[in-house]
Chains A and B, each alone.
Chain A
């Protein structure tokens, strides 16, 4: 079921909320079980067969977690159980995500006779597998306290995060699920949740979906894009991805809030970042957090401890040497980001996307190590240059992320640096000429149509860029009620801060209904494919 569909908004959501608070008033446990059931229905709506797969995965991992917890005093046995669990989870992921690509690759090179046809990817498999892998690692680390089966099922299946995150940690959710206060209906949670949901839906339906056709068109004919066409395509996609995925995350956070549950923040105005390190601290934040905790930290710790053990220096003095920089920064960063790229799917272009970001991050670290030392914050102009440079790096990497092949991505880059020539600007200036040429008589509506036709894409992209660079984000607008787990450290200007007033009570439903009126095309969220 899609968040951006009328059956979800008008039937599924009210019923699940109603049942939840009715049962919650009687027994919280019953409300938990209800949430599990509706979440499974939510998942099964799309393909009931995969509910079985989801349940098998959950039951298996719960069993493994019991094994890990039972062998706390026998580290060796515990390690084997954990390793078995990890291998099983990754095998499932590999089977659905990479096997077809691998077999296709082998048959292309004549190593096997048959290639396999496309396999349907179970929705959200990367997300629920990652969530559970993190849980198993937490069990071994000894940070798992809650062990009930129903609460575990709820933790994994809770429908607001099931399909495309945010990627949750067990330890931040379980105390919330076990707090009986959260099962009591509170008007505040409903209003804040609905507002966040409305913002997210508007971002998805009104912004992401309206810029999507241009990205689509450009990526379908990458070699034909000249200078402006290539730039338009690249910018349209970067903006589409942001509004699509951050809109989805806002909706997820809003939905969770309606049930009295807070989610961690997933986006914090990433395009305002003035460096790539900062970008990843603001973009798909729960993935960054996940990769840092379970991949980067163990590697970096091992490398750094290895150096310390040999009596080599750690810290700034070490990373300022070539060998130190290579082993302590370059290797862990590029390795982590390379895997992060491949996580998005099989294909050279995903690997390149990850490696590009690994290299960007390494360069950013090198700048922090060797660049000029600043005693005060940079001026607005200098900062804007950094923001723009960071944005450009992200846009280029996203070309690989979206393109059908590496060659297509390079074709668009060639277009962007002018290798495919420059479009004739005559058609762009035509509306102005038409106005100035007094012999032609244009009606206002003809003029409007002409302007939207010729300038529509440029105007929309400009508007979206202004929003990502200048406007506060949803979490800042809702700052008074701090909807995310982390709270907020930046607030929106006063007039954009949501409050329970008549004005907002008018504006919020207006936005929601307008977005719902535009639901006719119900496009899927981009991150459903991962």
Chain B
């Protein structure tokens, strides 16, 4: 999967979790850009991504991400390890 494909899929996840059909995310987007991005939605984003991409994150990986770009990198890494 390319970075763009992952970003498109993540946009759908973010829109669903923030309940905001117009939300736009970029690799630079971080919790500071979204008021609704709290610890609760963070966990939801991670689990929804796990389901969508068929990967599994470690608990330590759930907390340390600074922005969407790092999440994309993490997902790509896991997809590579899986294949």
Contacts and interface: CB of A to CB of B under 8 A. Distances in A.
A300 interface: yes
A289 B31 CA distance: 14
A304 B63 CA distance: 15
Contacts of B63: 289, 292-293, 297
Q: Which of A289, A296, A316 has the most CB of B within 10 A?
A: A316
Given A292-B63, A293-B63, A316-B19, A301 B48 contact: no
B47 A143 contact: no
Given A301-B46, A304-B44, A316-B19, A292 B59 contact: no
B59 A329 contact: no
Given A297-B59, A298-B59, A308 B50 contact: yes
Given A314-B44, A316-B18, A317-B16, A300 B59 contact: no
A138 interface: yes
| B interface, size bucket | 20 to 34
A301 B47 contact: yes
Given A315-B17, A316-B16, A141 B58 contact: yes
A380 B36 CA distance: 20
A293 B59 CA distance: 8
Interface in B1-51: 13, 16-19, 32, 36, 38-41, 43-44, 46-48, 50-51
A304 to B, nearest CB: 4
Given A138-B60, A298-B59, A301-B62, A315 B39 contact: no
Q: Which of B32, B36, B47, B62 has the most CB of A within 10 A?
A: B47
Contacts of B47: 301, 304-305, 308, 314
A368 B50 contact: no
A138 B61 CA distance: 11
A118 interface: no
A329 B40 contact: yes
Main secondary structure of the interface of A (DSSP, over half): helix
Q: Which of A143, A298, A304, A317 has the most CB of B within 10 A?
A: A304
Contacts of B60: 137-138, 141-143, 293
A433 to B, nearest CB: 50
A482 to B, nearest CB: 15
Main secondary structure of the interface of B (DSSP, over half): helix
Contact of B48 (A292, A298, A315): A315
B11 to A, nearest CB: 14
Interface string A493-512: 00000000000000000000
A477 to B, nearest CB: 20
Interface in A251-297: 277, 281, 289, 292-293, 296-297
B54 to A, nearest CB: 12
Contacts of A402: none
Given A308-B50, A314-B48, A301 B43 contact: yes
A315 B16 contact: yes
B38 A277 contact: yes
Given A304-B47, A315-B48, A317-B16, A297 B36 contact: no
Contacts of A446: none
A296 B17 contact: no
A202 interface: no
A413 interface: no
A308 B43 contact: no
Given A141-B60, A308-B47, A489-B32, A300 B18 contact: no
Contacts of A319: 40, 44
B36 A368 contact: yes
B45 to A, nearest CB: 8
Contacts of A315: 13, 16-17, 41, 44, 48
Contacts of B64: 143
Interface string A135-157: 00110011100000000000000
B16 A300 contact: no
B64 to A, nearest CB: 8
Contacts of A333: 40
B36 A300 contact: no
7 contacts: A138-B60, A142-B58, A301-B46, A308-B47, A315-B16, A328-B44, A365-B40
Given A308-B48, A329-B40, 17 more contacts: A141-B60, A143-B60, A293-B63, A297-B39, A297-B59, A298-B59, A300-B39, A300-B43, A308-B47, A308-B51, A314-B51, A315-B13, A316-B19, A316-B44, A317-B16, A319-B40, A328-B40
